[in-house]
Structure 1
Amino acid sequence: MKYLLWIVFLLPVTCFAQKRISGKVINTDNGSPIPNASVFLSNATIGTNTSEDGSFTLKSVPPGQYELIVSVVGFETYRQTLLMEGTDINLATIHLKPRTIALSEVEIKPDVDFEKNYTVFKEEFLGSTEWAKQCTILNPEMLNLDYDSGKKQLHGSSYDFLVIENKALGYRLKYLLTDFLKDYNTSIVYFVGSTLFEEMDGTPSQKRRWKKRRKDTFEGSSMHFFRSIVSNNLDESGFRVLRLIRQPNPNYTAGMDVSKKIEQKLINKPLKIADFVTLTNLKGLFGIQFKDCLYIMYTKKKESEQIFSGVNKVSYRSNYLTSILTINGKYGLFDNNGIITNPEAVIIEGSWGRSRVAELLPVDYMPEP
């Protein structure tokens, strides 16, 4: 991996001016403009619709790497990764290809297992926290859920945007679900999609409550952790990172307690940022490389319950808010907004592992005093 100068790594993200992204959306087949298409930055509050001539402008875009999404009924979804630096971006013309819909796709068939699958999906997608109880999916009919009994896996995606009201944090989310997987064999849950955040209307007292809850959700989160790395203030932010060594127990046999299947050893010596983070040759992206697991504690909050059990239980006296991060591949990547950009390469357990869409904050969220 190619390294850049360390001084670049220490630049705070707030020292750059916010810029604009503009362009025009047209039909690939006949060159006509496409009005009223949704254009937004995934997982942010920045979005708009195209005008009658297909043009659009996204304003006040902070620096960082984003995925630009263009979506409209009847056309294939357009995605483009953009790196916002010190200048405006003019994308000129974006071509959307009309989506050919086979009759079999629109044929409505009864799904006798939908309610059962939807109950599982909702708990894994929204979560099971107090915030999740205040979230509602307004149009579940947009979901396509399928259970593979042979592989014991639940798969899902959405035909169009799922509209989710999060009354705990005051956001209305439009979530285009690309892929959802719950593997009952491994207990791994994975989902990926594109989200546009919109502020909900509320009374002054509701807005004050939402502001407080958003800040509380941010503090100790993975976004907070990775932003603290970029700002080089991990310790000051309240994070402590240890090495967790895991290896198969050579003496384990069937019938033994499952917690004995893996031998775990926690090295009680705090790691430095340079021990597990590197710069990459990709602008705005940082790499995580670590052969063992990262045991991450947020020392400004306590756990209200035991979050590790069975084979994943770690014997350690601290009851700080704790997460375990394991790299499932060569490296993980995150950007200066504090977002993991290759989630398939990272396995998260503990506090962060319990967080779902109910705790999701937009990438352009900045905590207020």
Structure 2
Amino acid sequence: MKLFRLFLVMIGLVAINYVAQAQGKITGVALDSVTREPLAFASVFLANTTQGETTTDVGKFEFKRVPPGTYDLVGSYVGYRLGKQSVTVTAGGTQQVTVLLAPTGNQLAEVVVQPEPNKPEEYQEFSKLFLGGSTFSEQCHITNPDDVRVLYDAEDDELSARAKNYAQIENDALGYRLKYYGLEFNYDKGSRSVSYYGQPVFEEMKPRDEAQRKLWEANRLIAYKGSFMHFLRSVYRNRLRTEGFMAQQVRVIINNRYGQTDSLRRMLLERHPDGSNLTKAEKDSLSLWSRSAPIYATLNPAALPIDSIRRASADGKRVYLRFTGELQVTYFGEAPDPKYGKPMSSLGTPPKGTTYPAKRQVSRLRLQGKQAEIQADGSLLNPLDVSNGEYWGFEKIGEFLPFDYTPPTPATGASSSPPTRP
């Protein structure tokens, strides 16, 4: 019996050692970029994760358990600009990093000009677009609104927002406190496109009781299932269908006749600006032309095989998302948020004899180049390589999870189906 127990202990030690070896370490120091003096008690964190540290009195820091991958290591200190450095961590390896932070200048000698207060309607519009309109987004709030500057450019018809140091968001649905450093938010009202970028760090909030802890755990799983991060992890691991996703090719077609029909439509409206004295044929023409567009899309009903959207390097260490045109991605594991407010229908017609389940989320993807590199944690090496829309465009800060989030593993005999969205 003792021998058997010793054997089990040895197995446990091997397993623990394997986990430790599967991770890496980052050590370093934060310095003033001009004087090269160490910065004591500066904040240093890995962007988009829950890993953050405070430097010692001699500016040193250490991240002991970091999964392999490439990260933005960010340093923040009062009176200094953000310092950012890309760091690649390997399994069992240690990376030594020096983070340089540039001072903003002699602030005591400067005349401080207070910006004008945000216009309430512009701030509310920014807040709605940034936090989102989902059930979880309604439980998010920015706790330092005075540090966020919102501006509207009437000439470009664009709303933008920047944050002094960071914007702090508390997500009471997921139990995260989020500090969004270097926020750059833009909303083009003409194209109705929203983009935001920065270096956020997550902090887990303390639940008031066990019931709230379980609720946060369940809500995080809901936010994860079907998310863009879930999709990218599925592509990386070659488990697209197993994880409940289907990818289909969207063909975007340019309507070469649009320019001609649009000029005819304008000419007809110039002759009859109030719509009077139009013949039946002219009314029919206007109705037809109003439905035409410069581009339109068709959907190939067949599911794309994984090899047509996933490419791995020869050594298998790098994985890329690749496709032409646009990609429609459907997730069949969860119903959309009740606040989505749009019919969750796919383009085109499904194959004969096939019906789409009612519980599905449909999103669209477009590559900015030929391909985008995916990391094991479901992040993109360059976040700007892919733009998304429809359901993924609807999900915002309310569903935002750190890249080191790991969904719970169902216990033996327990149901593996995700909880339902409230």
Check the 8 A contact 2:177/2:205 in 1, yes or no.
yes
Provide, for residues 148-188 of structure 1, a one-character-per-residue CA deviation record: whole Å limited to 9, x for no partner. 11111112221112111100000011111331110011111
Deviation at 1:322, TM superposition (A): 0.7
What are the residue-to-residue correspondences of 1:1-369 with 2, within 5 Å? 17-100=22-105, 106-111=112-117, 113-202=118-207, 203-252=209-258, 253-254=261-262, 256-257=289-290, 260-279=293-312, 285-303=318-336, 304=338, 307=342, 314-316=347-349, 318=356, 319=358, 320-369=360-409
**Matched residue SS, 1:362:** coil
**Matched residue SS, 1:80:** strand
**Matched residue SS, 1:58:** strand
For residues 89 and 151 of structure 2, the distance between their equivalents in structure 1, rounded to whole angstroms, comes to 38
Provide, for residues 269-324 of structure 1, a one-character-per-residue CA deviation record: whole Å limited to 9, x for no partner. 11122212223599965332222211101112234556479xx9834563521111
Which blocks of at least 5 consecutive residues in structure 1 are unaligned? 1-13
**Matched residue SS, 1:197:** strand
**Matched residue SS, 1:236:** coil
**Matched residue SS, 2:334:** strand
Deviation at 1:110, TM superposition (A): 2.1
Which blocks of at least 5 consecutive residues in structure 2 are unaligned? 1-18, 263-285, 351-355, 410-422
Check the 8 A contact 2:377/2:403 in 1, yes or no.
yes
Q: 1:215 and 1:105, CA in 2 relative to 1: closer, same or farther beyond 3 A? A: farther
For residues 23 and 153 of structure 2, the distance between their equivalents in structure 1, rounded to whole angstroms, comes to 46
2:242 aligned partner, one-letter code: E
1:125 aligned partner, one-letter code: F
2:366 aligned partner, one-letter code: T
Q: 1:167 and 1:47, CA in 2 relative to 1: closer, same or farther beyond 3 A? A: same
For residues 109 and 306 of structure 1, the distance between their equivalents in structure 2, rounded to whole angstroms, comes to 37
For residues 364 and 282 of structure 1, the distance between their equivalents in structure 2, rounded to whole angstroms, comes to 25
Q: 1:45 and 1:92, CA in 2 relative to 1: closer, same or farther beyond 3 A? A: closer
**Matched residue SS, 1:32:** coil
2:370 aligned partner, one-letter code: K
**How high is the TM-score relative to the length of structure 2?**
0.77
Q: Number of aligned pairs?
A: 353
**Matched residue SS, 2:91:** coil
Check the 8 A contact 2:188/2:194 in 1, yes or no.
yes
1:80 aligned partner, one-letter code: Q
Task: Compute the RMSD of aligned alpha carbons.
Answer: 2.6
For residues 366 and 328 of structure 2, the distance between their equivalents in structure 1, rounded to whole angstroms, comes to 9
Check the 8 A contact 1:143/1:156 in 2, yes or no.
yes
Provide, for residues 203-250 of structure 1, a one-character-per-residue CA deviation record: whole Å limited to 9, x for no partner. 110000000110111011111111111111111100111111111233
Check the 8 A contact 1:65/1:284 in 2, yes or no.
no
Deviation at 1:258, TM superposition (A): 5.6
Q: Once the two structures are aligned, what percentage of the paired residues are identical?
A: 29
Q: 1:347 and 1:158, CA in 2 relative to 1: closer, same or farther beyond 3 A? A: same
Whose radius of gyration is greater, 1 or 2? 2
For residues 376 and 196 of structure 2, the distance between their equivalents in structure 1, rounded to whole angstroms, comes to 22
User: Is the deviation greater in 102-111 or in 239-248?
Assistant: 102-111
Q: 1:172 and 1:50, CA in 2 relative to 1: closer, same or farther beyond 3 A? A: same
Q: 1:346 and 1:330, CA in 2 relative to 1: closer, same or farther beyond 3 A? A: same
